Amino acid sequence: MATASAPDTIPVGSAPHSIAIRPDGSRAYVSNSGAGTLSVIDTAVGVVTATIGVGAGPWGATVTPDGQFVCVTEPGSGTVGFVSTTTNALIGTVSGLTVPRGLAVTPDGTRLYVANSGANTVSVISTATRAITGTITVGNGPQSIAIRPDGLRAYVSHSAGGTVSVINTLSNTVTATVPGFNVPLGVAVAPDGARLYVANSGGTAVSIVSTTDNSVIGTITVATSPAYVAVSPDGTLVYATMTGSDSLTVINASTNTVTHTLSGFATPHEVTTTPDGGYLYVANYGDGTVGVLRRPAAISPNQGPPGGGTAVTITGRGFLGTTSVLFGNRPAKSFAVLSDTTLTAVTPSLSRTGAKAVPVTVTASGGTAIIGHFYYQLLPVIDEISSPSGPTTGGNVLTLTGRRLTGVKYVRFGNVTAAATVLSDTRLTVTVPPSVLAHSVPVYVTNRGGVSNSLSYTYVSTAAITSISPVSGPSAGSRIVNINGTSLSQVNSVTFGGVPALSFKVMSAIKVQSITPPHAPGPVAVVVTTSTGATATAPQPYTYI
């Protein structure tokens, strides 16, 4: 039985840098920067079946979501090449770029974002017309690009500037610049879109950035010079290539700890996984090969409550004929072998109360091996939320009180993650993320023990005033004024020029009827405030005469 395997190698071309795999997993495409070629690997048999001539110094490569084209940057010629995966031929190029390096395609396949390392810009290319449709100014020395799974944000590393730019892909503008990196190169977004991983090639750390508020929320110490990163399709593992130690580091995404350091590489550059996550492909820039290895053994999830009952999936190799799965010295409540590489198990209860890390041991026909560790932790509990509702725009800060909040890194609002600031074991604060809908969502937190209970939070549509009627009245006040708009049902204050209305009544979600207070002659702003603290101002003033 094996828990990790040494990489097999496939000879490709000189100085391979990037690897892109078709969505069906049948072919891998390798950019050979020293040879001006793209190698095509049949992943089923592990051999190069075609070599395609492209532009000078091919660097970044990506496959369109429909699997029809490979797009490759060519820094030496300032172009991006389009290669047909059907004919294995270069069918077109886009010129006008300046030392293009990294690139990424949007999930809908309509646009390419290309980092121009020689111009400090990102070019936007239409995949339909193969024309540049936009240029975005970013930081110094842009290198790699990753796009969030929802397609709304692109992240660009700047090796010379030590920053990461955040691009709004709807407006194609930079909306934030995240500082504090050490020669950042590779970037990768988790499948749930909540975290961005950044390789600090000038140091010994992989940084974790919250995509909710664009802040660095953690660092993972690794070996020398982490260059490029990738995340497993299930989001449980992060892979980082180490050019300084010719190795590949495997990180548990739940605990942010290094679980494996795999050797046998030669100045490794980009790493990627097959669509099912079962195999890793690593470009060995130093010896002109691609390393291929099975996914390292893993346990997912790797934490749960002391009472047991957590269903886990264990991946590795040699699981056929499994006769025993132990968590510490206690057998799993049940287990099932799905294949030679995968089994599922249900955790037993701890023999004592409290928290504890135990080894997970699998015995099969090939022998016995420790696959990893499972962390028994007490579940967090949240008892109270400081406000049960807020505007759909988010941005308001909530305080959550409860128990066992130490170690909580995130708060989830439905399926959206926000970074938590833990004040004590019983209190934390969180900035509410925005929502496109006015609705109620469950709010819960997680620590290494698992998921807490949930409380309800309601997103309320932001109030808006579309008109007032009449628009003028006597300075003595006492005029009835109808305020028309949207989402007015929670209005709890109406002012005219900062003076509270003599009285008001919420008639419906689109109408509030108010009585004007006395005021000196002249135009004044009409403002309503809702129970969430949001305000809305009428588009025209009310004029006292």
Maximum mean pLDDT: which of 80-94, 409-423, 461-475: 80-94
pLDDT at 141 exceeding the cut of 70: yes
- How many residues comprise the chain? 545
Residue 9 banded pLDDT, cuts 50, 70, 90: very high
Q: What is the pLDDT, as a whole number, of residue 526? A: 97
The encoded tokens of residue 303 equal 């934490």
Best CATH choice for the domain 298-376 from the list 2.60.40.10, 3.20.20.70, 3.30.1360.20, 3.40.50.10420: 2.60.40.10
Q: What is the pLDDT of residue 307?
A: 85
Q: Which CATH number fits domain 12-294: 3.40.109.10, 2.60.40.10, 2.130.10.10, 3.30.450.40?
A: 2.130.10.10
pLDDT at residue 360 greater than cutoff 70: yes
pLDDT at 409: 86
Cα–Cα dist 242/224, whole Å: 6
Whether the Cβ atoms of residue 156 and residue 163 lie closer than 8 Å to each other = no
Of 63-67, 205-209, 352-356, 531-535, give the lowest mean pLDDT range.
352-356
- The pLDDT-based confidence of 6 (bands split at 50, 70, 90) is low
Residue 351 is encoded by which pair of tokens?
């023999």
Identify the helix (H) or strand (E) that includes residue 145. Answer: strand 142-147
Rounded to whole angstroms, the Cα distance separating 195 from 153 reads 12
Q: Write the CB contacts of 11 (distance below 8 Å, at least 6 apart in sequence).
A: 48, 288, 289
Q: Which residue has the tokens 């180490």?
A: 242
Which has the closest alpha carbon to 319: 371, 275, 277, 278? 371
Residue with tokens 């997993």: 25
User: CB under 8 Å, gap of 24 or more: what pairs does 81-87 form?
Assistant: 81/54, 81/55, 82/130, 83/29, 83/38, 83/52, 83/54, 85/22, 85/27, 85/29
121 contacts 143 by C-beta, under 8 angstroms = no
* Fold equal for 298-376 and 464-544: yes
What is the pLDDT confidence band of residue 50, given thresholds at 50, 70 and 90? Answer: very high
392-410 in b/e burial notation, b at 16+ Cβ within 10 A? Answer: bebebebebbbebbebbbb
* pLDDT at residue 300 in the model: 81
Tell me which CATH code domain 381-460 carries: 2.60.40.10
Instruction: Give pTM, 2 decimals.
Output: 0.69
pLDDT at 260 over 90: no
Tokens representing residue 422 in the block: 């833990």
Mean pLDDT of 294-299: 85
**pLDDT at residue 452 greater than cutoff 60:** yes
Q: State what percent of residues in the chain have pLDDT above 70.
A: 98
- DSSP letters, 50-119, are EEEE-SSS---EEE-TTSSEEEEEETTTTEEEEEETTTTEEEEEE---SSEEEEEE-TTSSEEEEEETTT
Per-residue pLDDT, 60: 98
Residues 306-323: pLDDT tens digits? 889 999 999 888 899 999
Extents of the domains making up the chain: 12-294, 298-376, 381-460, 464-544
What's the CATH superfamily of 464-544?
Immunoglobulins (2.60.40.10)
Write out pLDDT tens, residues 416-448.
889 899 988 899 999 999 887 788 999 999 876
What's the confidence (pLDDT) of residue 425?
86
The one-character DSSP state at 317 is: B
Q: What's the pLDDT at 224? A: 86
Which residues lie closer than 8 Å to 87 by C-beta, 6 or more apart?
none
Q: For residue 3, is pLDDT > 70?
A: no
* pLDDT the model gives residue 354: 61
Which SS3 state, helix, strand or coil, does residue 168 take?
A: strand
pLDDT value of position 294: 87
Give the Cα separation of 472 and 387 in Å (integer).
37
**Residue 227 clears pLDDT 90, i.e. is over it:** yes
Residues 279, 283, 287, 290, Cα dihedral to 10°: 30
Residue 476 predicted with pLDDT over 90? yes
